Amino acid sequence: MARTRAAGHAAKDQDIEKSPSLVDGAYAALKQAILDSSFAPGYHASEQEIALRLGMSRTPVHEAVIRLQEDGLVRVLSRRGVLICALAPDDVREIYDVIVAIEGRAAELLADQPDAGREAVAAALAAETEAMSQAWRRGDLPAWGLADARFHKALVERAGNGRMTRIIQTINDQSHRARMLTLKLRRELEASVEEHRAIIAAILEGDPAKALARVHDHRLRARDELLPLLDSFGLKHL
């Protein structure tokens, strides 16, 4: 009888550890640690070690690791723990191919909205662009990066295509470290602000072709600035 009660308590404890709130918390904490490089690319550890570093129990961390592997941020090595995935320049190049395609289409859809819709989108995008400009003037690169990320997130989300939003979120998670780690090396941050304003203007004009072109120009310039930096500074993995 005692063993039955003990087994019942153990099962209940495991169910609690697998509760959505605990798993979501572990997922968010581990994902943030990866994105801010607290768990650097190439870091290799057991789930138990990761759980200890996060101050969590192993079960929700295990569930979070499974989700993060689907996101492309970690790789589970059979009987050898968890590896934080690194990004090579070729990975970054492929990521930009996807970003250019999705954000370009999103800009077309936004420019094709009715006047009220375009004005609302433009106001939201302009707010993030102004936040970027202010961050650049005071030399706050992390704030610049966050505002830039919010601009591009809104650009896709407000287009109203759920599949595009889900795809771009995974891609952005994978590329975030590359963008943040190279911010100090990049020399064209002010140009990004002006390019964002050109995208907004094209959306406000209701010109899908121009909006698409402005996004393409912006993202391809950023790609062509970033990739040589990775090569010149010997950053083979991020």
Counting residues of the chain whose pLDDT is more than 70, the rounded percentage is: 83
**153 and 183 part of one domain:** yes
- For the chain, the first-to-last Cα distance in angstroms comes to 55
**Boundary residue ending a domain (29, 50, 84):** 84
Q: What is the pLDDT of residues 13-44, one digit of tens each?
A: 444 455 678 899 999 999 888 877 788 778 89
Residue 61 and residue 93 in one domain: no
Residue-level pLDDT at 125: 98
pLDDT at 110 over 50: yes
Q: Are residues 130 and 193 in the same domain?
A: yes
Sign of the alpha-carbon torsion through 42, 44, 48, 49? negative
3-state helix, strand, coil in the chain (%, to 5): 75, 5, 20
- CATH number, residue 78: 1.10.10.10
pTM (2 d.p.)? 0.73
Residue 109 sits in which domain range? 89-232
> Are residues 110 and 55 part of one domain?
no
Q: Which residue has the higher pLDDT, 94 or 126?
A: 126
What is the average pLDDT score of the chain?
A: 85
Residue 80 lies in a domain: yes
Shared-domain flag, residues 200 and 96 = yes
Tell me how many degrees the CA angle 186-28-49 measures, rounded to the nearest 5.
100
